[in-house]
Amino acid sequence: MILEDLHSYRDACRGCGECLVNCRYMRFTRDQAVEEIRKINRGETASSRAVRDCMSCYACNRFCPNDAHPYERIHFAWDARYRQEGLPMRASYLMPGRRPNFRQDLPFSARERELHARWASDMPPARTCLYPGCNLLAMPLLATGAIFEVLPVWGRWDLCCGEMFFRMGLVEPVRGVAERLSSFYRDKPIDELVFVCPAGYNMFSHVLPEQFGAKFPFKITFFTDWFDHQLSRGRFNLSQGLSDAVVVHDSCHGRILGDAFMNGQREFLRKLGLRIHETGLNRTHGLCCGVAAGCNRYSLIDLVRWGYTALHTLEKAEGDEIAVYCTGCLLTLNIFHLLNPFGKRLVHLIEYTRAALGERVERRHTVKAVQMAAGIGIHALPHYLNPKRIKIS
């Protein structure tokens, strides 16, 4: 299916270069952008700087006026490289499903392990459930309290949405995820799956079904829409008005989901009582939290450079805290926050929601960041120059 999509995307491209001239990472002139997109259309990817230097932020799809999906066309060259060479050994620790793994092998408390066990049932505990995704599984204490008595969490590590593989351009691994998830959910008695991570939400609602043929027999809803509906029904009462001034960080998938989605997250935060500020690079032109920057060259330098740049941009903006609506961004930015521990707190949308309900939220963000950074240092860095290559089974 993806090959047919790629042909149609190439046919839709008008070669205007709008996608690449707007890239905040590669900084092409108009002429350079036009030449680069023409190279990609001609299949001359070996000499393409865009293919070589793309930071996988995904925004070029939003910049394209013809819906020609330059992101996928750049990444198809990465897939060809993977099929020929495999991945470098240093990427192994970051791959979902492999053990050890930078999320799954964190040192979890007894309470966290109990939550994992409760969420991992084969059958859904209700007709409407929350899909945790890998990042919420890494921070399970976020999903406790009154909300999750009404919206039970249902999911486990082996039901990964494949987002990391997609961001790396690995076609067959993503196709395998689409087939596995379609098979798992096919006969499950569930009407609605709610997502608190825009990456999982975009993968389930667009990428997996539209590009890889996945079929999901249930409604797919983002958390803020679900919670708004519950408020309108009187299921919850916002008893604690919030008054913090926050600057919002937009995730890569939030940008792809569009202005209505990004505005919806801001309206929700305002409903909780928060005052919203912006950076000069928000929404469509926003900066990636940094994790995607490692998806091309698998470079620690790229990760640190662009992740810290994003955090520094948020630190310079008005607002006392950084509001994050992506659990992956929360994890990643907290790692870079270790370089500036006295900077603004990073607070997830779920935390604000629970606080507005009058709940005390246990924060373990710094602990998780230290543990994750230590795991990467122990398991990935020793293989940084290892010439061995791996394939994903």
Q: How confident is the model at residue 8 (pLDDT cuts 50, 70, 90)?
A: confident
Query: 103 and 134 in contact (C-beta within 8 Å)?
Result: yes
* C-alpha span between 282 and 251 (Å, rounded): 10
Instruction: Give the DSSP letter of residue 97.
Output: T
* C-alpha span between 393 and 389 (Å, rounded): 13
pLDDT for 9 equals 84
What would the pLDDT profile of 10-27 be if each residue is shown by its tens digit? 889 999 999 999 998 999
Q: How confident is the model at residue 2 (pLDDT cuts 50, 70, 90)?
A: low
Instruction: Give the DSSP letter of residue 15.
Output: -
What would the pLDDT profile of 286-321 be if each residue is shown by its tens digit? 889 999 988 999 998 999 999 999 999 999 999 999
Six-digit token string for 268: 């929700």
pLDDT for 387 equals 92
Q: Structural domains in the chain?
A: 2-86 (no CATH), 90-232 (no CATH), 245-386 (3.40.50)
